[in-house]
Amino acid sequence: MIQIVKISDLKVSDKSADAIITYALGSCLGLVIYDPVVRVGGMLHAMLPKPSGTGKNLFQYVDSGVPLLFKKCYTLGAKKERLRIVAAGCASLMNAATIFEIGKRNIAMLEALFKKNGVRLNASMLGGHDSRTLRLDLATGKTSVRVRGKEIEL
């Protein structure tokens, strides 16, 4: 089954027949983690680095969504040391003022979180000006990005 991750949403699965997809990562961060031994994986689509207002939806933010993605996969049997971690998205507009550089702020928040927790990215496709679709196949852990009709494996 195909599970769709909406904006400010998160999905995890331990079913080999599943694929998890998020469409249209603009400046949002798409993060995939996958444990090949138990074939458990998940995806987060976070819009902003951290809450500025009331911020009720924890999946909306990198600072609260990323830890939840890891926790939910641990619950399904994934182990931190076996995880393959892939990030995509965080694009920016051209000649944009600092105020619009949400993508860069999302990357900075992710890097800070990973540094603090001793986690490293295995692959990434971050920045640039493309709006990307991100997909994870649970059976194989294959993670790919689709841009203008072309698929690129990460």
Here's the x/- map for another protein, 118-137, by CB under 8 A: it reads as: -----------xxxxx----
Chain center to CA of 49:
13
Tell me: does residue 100 bind another protein (CB under 8 A): yes
What does the alpha-carbon distance between residue 117 and residue 111 come to, in Å, rounded to a whole number?
10
Kindly state the smallest distance separating residue 62's Cβ from another protein, in Å: 13
In the complex, least distance from residue 63 CB atom to another protein, rounded to whole angstroms: 13
What contacts 75, CB < 8 A, 6 or more positions away?
none
Per CB under 8 A, does 55 bind another protein?
Answer: yes
Query: CA-CA distance, 62 to 66, in Å (whole number)?
Result: 6
Strand-pairing partners, residue 12, are 42
53 sits near another protein (criterion: CB under 8 A): yes
User: Using an 8 Å Cβ cutoff, are 123 and 144 in contact?
Assistant: no
Q: Is 93 in the site for another protein (CB under 8 A)?
A: yes
| Contacting residues toward another protein, per CB under 8 A | 4, 6-8, 23-28, 45, 47-48, 51-53, 55, 60, 89, 91-97, 99-100, 102-103, 129-133, 146-149
